[in-house]
Chain A
């Protein structure tokens, strides 16, 4: 069953545990710059927003990748980067509207959320339980929509004017 990671922003306390467990499980190191998730902290406003790939239904990253190195994992529905196929042109990074992909700071590799084969470490280790993996059944689709609507409505706003 395809899965998707959703976050309850009300629960997030901005401790960045997700960033570190992400880096730890994927890179065996502790480095937010190597994490597939980034908590945007608005310290003046007390808001924390974990940003990560939304595993779009029609992913632009996949569409722009000339090497056909980005594909959907049949098991989890996550968009994955075939690092062996990847040629490092960074078009996916430039095309993603939400900054969901990034370039590894030292290793030559595109990194992005891969849903940890369906069992994301951030879900397990977030002390506040702010994350949830939702199977894309009828209810899941609806919940995901709600989660993503926030993002897409932002895109609408963007077309309206500046930041």
Chain B
């Protein structure tokens, strides 16, 4: 099978059973990656299973372009039932693990059951072994990766840290030292299966249908990616991001406070200086020209050098109001080691600080840990406790929605989260009506899989481009205005589709839209030899999207669940460019109606019979 490896590895840890599934059973209708992942989840997990129980499955899927020469094709998609939301959970990571899996001869790995004792899986081409991991249990991510690569440098390691072992809903799955599938509590699912790590080494490679065409297409994709501002700004991108968030008014502070943070400019300046003082070297995922990662070594810190993803620092700084970059960096490193989702963890910290300040919780609840915005040292301590589920950390480890439920005392009044209970995607959503809609209707498992790259986001800094893009998508330049409710369902639909497409092909979502659908689908044909019309591909994307919805409907999802925290509908922003912005319930519901309609769903958000028929999902 060109592009694909042709087999999906199925491992039942309860029964120590290893088998394979033919990829071709699914690839025609679900493409790969996220698409096949969702299909496998839908088919293999009976309704309303405990996400942390042995019946839940954890799917690692690559797409047909993963590990091919296609630029930015280092991705792997994770699909499972999320313990954070009890709905479909998904996350996606770059790096080299997915490609290595492909080269080992597998398009994916499905984990079912639960091992009696901690284990890890070693895959070396056709040799798949479930090995004892009791000695690895308790080790942080860095230690685990190092141990599994000892004498086996080529091993690519996916693993969880202590947070995953302790089934924190904020835990992710780490890939080597750097990449993370961080969202939806996928680390907890892995931990619940007593699975510490999957180490992969593959030397089989993947077959390509038309190598010459692929080379040509890839050069074109490379060139387009190099035209992206992200490429041009690197490596100063890492601090410029703070600036752009500020410029575009996406920044938020603490637990979505209505006022601006007075130290915000200082924080940006500090970060800039911190980065410039220390050594930063750009890094890329497989075949990606974007080098949006960077290796960052802080002087005087022993054993500390870590690669820092730019996208996560702002959330640490803004949620916890940290203006000392050293602590931003420390907390980031801590999350990486412990196996925690940086965004979710930061959000829950901000929530705790809010609750603490509002007196909902006290020193007694926190067992002496001080939750105080701006206090990096205290947050670091709290985060370690969270990972270990010690004291109050045990409650915070549940994630925002479940944590406030546990705390009671009407704590949910203070919580800000999106559908199902995950935190919002690292930005203020009240002015961004499209993003708000996306966070509410998504079934992808994490809202960053639905919201990235809307033109609204750069409306303030690059209005001309934003309008042009909006016009291309929905036909109206006005659609680019973040605050308008008009046209937003179409925008959401478009970007959701883009994400599904990228995640299913196995390429990165970041350059996906800038490069353009046409090149990706040409690359797909060159790799697989499958000639698909764009229309067919889009039908496939629709099918995947609707199946995600079907899964969640089966889990009991109703129209009223497609929403965000009440606070966002009640509490208007009181300062800054978006002063007065708040979500309007009525208009919001109208957007949902339109969105459902566009998707071919009924008013309750359920796919209609006709749609199911059209998509072959009956």
Q: Give chain A's interface residues, CB within 8 Å of chain B.
A: 13-17, 20-21, 23-25, 27-34, 40, 43-48, 105-106, 121, 125, 127-128
Q: Are A30 and B283 in contact (CB under 8 A)?
A: no
A and B contact pairs by CB, cutoff 8 A, 22 listed:
A17-B287, A20-B286, A25-B215, A28-B211, A30-B103, A30-B205, A31-B103, A33-B103, A34-B205, A43-B178, A43-B307, A44-B146, A44-B306, A46-B283, A46-B295, A46-B297, A125-B218, A125-B219, A127-B225, A127-B288, A127-B289, A128-B291
- C-beta contact mask, B276-303 vs A, less than 8 Å → 1, else 0? 0000011111111101001111000000
CA distance A126 to B343 in the complex (A): 33
| B289 / chain A contacts, CB cutoff of 8 Å | 15, 17, 127-128
Q: Are B204 and A44 in contact (CB under 8 A)?
A: no
CB closest residue in chain A, given B69? A20
Q: Are B103 and A32 in contact (CB under 8 A)?
A: yes
Q: Are A23 and B283 in contact (CB under 8 A)?
A: no
Q: Are A127 and B226 in contact (CB under 8 A)?
A: yes
**Closest CB in chain A relative to B169 CB, distance in Å:** 28
Query: In the complex where A43-B176, A46-B297, A125-B218 touch, is A14 in contact with B208 (Cβ < 8 A)?
Result: no
Most buried by B among A27, A40, A43, A47: A43
Q: Are A44 and B203 in contact (CB under 8 A)?
A: no
B452 in the interface (beta carbon within 8 A): no
Q: Are B307 and A24 in contact (CB under 8 A)?
A: no
- List of 4 A-B pairs having minimum Cβ-Cβ separation, nearest first: A31-B205, A46-B295, A127-B289, A33-B203
CA distance A87 to B288 in the complex (A): 38
CA distance A16 to B295 in the complex (A): 16
**Other-chain residue from A28, A30, A121, A127 in contact with B222 (beta carbon distance below 8 A):** A127
B271 in the interface (beta carbon within 8 A): no
**Closest CB in chain B relative to A25 CB, distance in Å:** 8
Q: Are A32 and B291 in contact (CB under 8 A)?
A: no
Q: Are A105 and B69 in contact (CB under 8 A)?
A: no
B544 in the interface (beta carbon within 8 A): no
B67 in the interface (beta carbon within 8 A): yes
| A34 / chain B contacts, CB cutoff of 8 Å | 205
Q: Are B215 and A46 in contact (CB under 8 A)?
A: no
**Other-chain residue from B103, B285, B296 in contact with A15 (beta carbon distance below 8 A):** B285
Q: Are B205 and A16 in contact (CB under 8 A)?
A: no
B540 in the interface (beta carbon within 8 A): no
Query: In the complex where A31-B204, A46-B281, A46-B307 touch, is A15 in contact with B287 (Cβ < 8 A)?
Result: yes
| A29 / chain B contacts, CB cutoff of 8 Å | 205-208, 211
CA distance A43 to B96 in the complex (A): 11
B68 in the interface (beta carbon within 8 A): yes
| B142 / chain A contacts, CB cutoff of 8 Å | 44
Q: Are A44 and B206 in contact (CB under 8 A)?
A: no
**Other-chain residue from A15, A31, A44, A128 in contact with B177 (beta carbon distance below 8 A):** A44
Query: In the complex where A13-B282, A21-B215, A45-B295 touch, is A30 in contact with B208 (Cβ < 8 A)?
Result: yes
B591 in the interface (beta carbon within 8 A): no
Q: Which of B118-177 contact A (CB under 8 A)?
A: 142, 146, 153, 176-177
Most buried by B among A13, A28, A31: A13
| A28 / chain B contacts, CB cutoff of 8 Å | 208, 211
Q: Are B177 and A24 in contact (CB under 8 A)?
A: no
| A128 / chain B contacts, CB cutoff of 8 Å | 289, 291
**Other-chain residue from B206, B215, B286, B291 in contact with A16 (beta carbon distance below 8 A):** B286
| A16 / chain B contacts, CB cutoff of 8 Å | 96, 286-287
| B101 / chain A contacts, CB cutoff of 8 Å | none
CB closest residue in chain A, given B67? A30
| B206 / chain A contacts, CB cutoff of 8 Å | 29-31
**Closest CB in chain A relative to B7 CB, distance in Å:** 16
CB closest residue in chain B, given A10? B281
B214 in the interface (beta carbon within 8 A): yes
B47 in the interface (beta carbon within 8 A): no
B408 in the interface (beta carbon within 8 A): no
B305 in the interface (beta carbon within 8 A): yes
| A31 / chain B contacts, CB cutoff of 8 Å | 103, 203-206
Query: In the complex where A15-B288, A46-B305 touch, is A23 in contact with B226 (Cβ < 8 A)?
Result: no
| A27 / chain B contacts, CB cutoff of 8 Å | 205
CB closest residue in chain B, given A40? B153
CB closest residue in chain A, given B205? A31
**Closest CB in chain A relative to B302 CB, distance in Å:** 12
**Closest CB in chain A relative to B212 CB, distance in Å:** 9
CB closest residue in chain A, given B281? A46
CA distance A15 to B226 in the complex (A): 14
CA distance A21 to B218 in the complex (A): 10
**Closest CB in chain B relative to A106 CB, distance in Å:** 8
Q: Are A24 and B287 in contact (CB under 8 A)?
A: no
Q: Which of B189-220 contact A (CB under 8 A)?
A: 202-208, 211, 214-215, 218-219
Query: In the complex where A15-B284, A20-B69, A24-B215 touch, is A43 in contact with B205 (Cβ < 8 A)?
Result: no
CA distance A31 to B287 in the complex (A): 12
Q: Are A44 and B287 in contact (CB under 8 A)?
A: no
CA distance A154 to B430 in the complex (A): 58
Further contacts, 12 of them, CB under 8 A, given A15-B285, A44-B306: A20-B68, A20-B286, A21-B69, A21-B215, A32-B103, A40-B153, A43-B178, A46-B294, A46-B305, A47-B281, A127-B226, A128-B291
CB closest residue in chain B, given A14? B283
CA distance A20 to B211 in the complex (A): 11
**Other-chain residue from B205, B226, B294, B306 in contact with A33 (beta carbon distance below 8 A):** B205
CA distance A21 to B207 in the complex (A): 13
CA distance A160 to B71 in the complex (A): 42
| B285 / chain A contacts, CB cutoff of 8 Å | 15
CA distance A11 to B215 in the complex (A): 22
Q: Are A105 and B218 in contact (CB under 8 A)?
A: no
| A48 / chain B contacts, CB cutoff of 8 Å | 283
Query: In the complex where A13-B283, A20-B287 touch, is A105 in contact with B203 (Cβ < 8 A)?
Result: yes
Q: Are A24 and B204 in contact (CB under 8 A)?
A: no
| B68 / chain A contacts, CB cutoff of 8 Å | 20, 30
CA distance A96 to B449 in the complex (A): 48
CA distance A121 to B178 in the complex (A): 28
Q: Are A32 and B205 in contact (CB under 8 A)?
A: yes
